[in-house]
Amino acid sequence: MAAGSFGALVSLAAWAPVHAGERCVEDDTGQEVCLEAPAQRVVALSPGATELLFAAGAGDHVVAAVSHADYPEEAADLPRVGSYDRLDMESILAHEPDLVIGWTSGNSSSQLERIESLGVPLYRSDPRQLEEIATSLERLGALAGSEETAEAEAARFRDAVTELEAEYAGRDPVRVFYQIWPDPVMTINDEQIISESIRICGGENVFGDLGSLTPRLDTESVLEADPEAIVAGGMGEADDAWLDEWRRYDVLEATARDNLFFVQPSTIQRPTPRILEGTRALCDKLEQARRNR
């Protein structure tokens, strides 16, 4: 070995321990997030971020979360730092986090910027595609030092998505209106992750081409679109009251064919591995719609 090569190796050996714990990933906005060592105190600012951290094997490092972060069971006992849309900054900082997982679509942008300005590492999470759930698991696992668990869960997730796509490929399309809020009536466009679940099940989002991620509608717009199936969440995990409004309109194809469906909201409206559970439920509903023709 040349003397120069040996010297380079010695230099590398001297450098490596100092930087061995450093890890850098890109968040969902493309910003680089770097930590000098695996995160030990993580605050999650959305229910979805909390689930992702636990699924990535980092649950033991989560020290606080927002209200409604109720899955898995251990998350229900975490201290709260406000709600996703009204964060308690003092409480967040009091937990001395070495990493905060924010939610770009739900958290206040000014509050996220405030956290960053105080020197707290911030990972902005906002998966828009099912594949981004898998990559989120891998990135969060890298930041928390739980790579092995995260990579296994990401692989399991990808395999399950592939199986669902194969199972429902070629099904007759069903025109779907998916409702995420009742007053004002709100839906999703094709850039929102639930639309990918609809597509996998052979559905077509009747409002998919609207510009906003979560467009606001009026009743007349839904009547004019005349979906074959209406799928709604609710205020609770077993509350289908949002469908009552549409039962009044016999002119709707979805109502006339008894295609008013409820899917447990936490299983499909949070961008986490449990979206597979919600997607399977959605696929079952759209199969029922096909049988009702």
Query: What does the pLDDT look like over 98-147, one tens digit per residue?
Result: 999 999 989 999 999 999 999 999 999 999 999 999 999 999 999 999 99
> Is residue 208 in a domain?
yes
Quick one: 51 and 144 in the same domain? yes
User: How many structural domains is the chain composed of?
Assistant: 2
Quick one: 152 and 103 in the same domain? yes
Quick one: 151 and 212 in the same domain? no
Quick one: 34 and 113 in the same domain? yes
Domain edge (last residue) among 157, 185, 211: 157
**Sequence-separated (6 or more) residues with CB below 8 Å from residue 239:** none
Query: What does the pLDDT look like over 212-255, one tens digit per residue?
Result: 999 999 999 999 999 999 999 876 676 788 999 999 999 999 99
What pLDDT is stored for residue 21 in this prediction? 61
Quick one: 126 and 52 in the same domain? yes
pLDDT of 1 over the 60 cut = no
Greatest alpha-carbon span in the chain? 86
- Reference 56, options 136, 164, 127, 150; nearest CA is 150
Quick one: 208 and 148 in the same domain? no
Domain range enclosing 176: 170-291
Quick one: 186 and 258 in the same domain? yes
Q: Strands 122-125 and 229-232, how do they pair?
A: unpaired
Quick one: 80 and 130 in the same domain? yes
Quick one: 137 and 242 in the same domain? no
Is this model's pTM higher than 0.75 or not?
Answer: yes
Domain edge (last residue) among 157, 185, 207: 157
- Calculate the CA dihedral of residues 231, 236, 242, 243 and round it to 10 degrees: 50
Domain edge (last residue) among 99, 133, 157: 157
Torsion sign across C-alpha atoms 178, 183, 189, 191: negative
Quick one: 197 and 149 in the same domain? no
> Is residue 275 in a domain?
yes
> What element of type H or E holds 101?
strand 99-103
